[in-house]
Structure formats: C-alpha cells, structure tokens
Amino acid sequence: MSYERLAWLHLGTILPAFAIGTALLFMRKGTPLHKLLGRVYMPLMLATAVITLLMPAAVGPKLFGHFGFIHIFSLLVLYSVPSAYLYARRGDVARHKKEMVGLYIGGMLIAGSLAFMPGRMLNQMLFH
C-alpha cells in the first residue's frame, strides 16, 4: 500500500477519533452516550496506531530504516487503549481516566502536532 494511501487512511481514523475524544473529555462520564462513544473511539485509536506503524518516519533518526520517535506514540496507544478498557470494566474509574487523558494528550495533541510539522508526510499532503 502506498504511503499516501496510508496517510489518508490515518486521517480517516484520526479525524473522527479526535472529534469523539474531544467530546468525551467534556461530556458527563459514565452515561450510555459516553460508553457508546468510547466503544467507537477506542477501535478508531487502535486502527490509527496500527496504520501509523505501517507509515515510515519522514524525519529524524530511524530504527530499521522505518520507525522514528513519533512511532512511540503508536505504541502508547496500543498499550493505553486496552489498559483503559480493562480499568473501566473493573470499575477503576480513576485509572481509566488517567489512561484516557494521557492517550488524548500524547496520542492526539502531541503526536498530532508532530505529524503536521514541516517535512512530515501529512504536512506535505495538506499544505503543499
């Protein structure tokens, strides 16, 4: 699959995840709507993480000629989503919240900011 196609798939999962994640941050917790949106948000984030692991790093040092520092956030997502789900299932709301806020800050805000920096694929596709 071409890198550009992967980038479009990435946008197709991360944009709705960003909208849902933002809504989840500000809405009342524990409601049926919160749970429903969480069941959509989590698979979107997992799909995003897998897609980004298939995309090569465009800047900075690379491990195996492919993985860069930004891929650490993909691993964060692959750990945080199942952890947050299990915490919620166990009723450990505090740890669930900690994982989800960390996921949003690290996986959305920080990684998202890095993905749009000059030299990165998404920057090139959308702004040039």
- Write down how long the chain is: 128
Percentage of residues in the chain having pLDDT higher than 90 = 59
Between 61 and 96, the higher pLDDT residue: 96
Mean pLDDT score of the chain: 89
Predicted pLDDT of residue 59: 67
CA angle 8, 82, 66 (to 5 degrees): 45
Q: What is the pLDDT of residues 32-90, one digit of tens each?
A: 999 999 999 999 999 999 999 998 776 666 778 788 888 888 999 999 999 999 999 99
| pTM for the model | 0.86
d(CA 28, CA 43): 21
DSSP 8-state class, residue 120: S
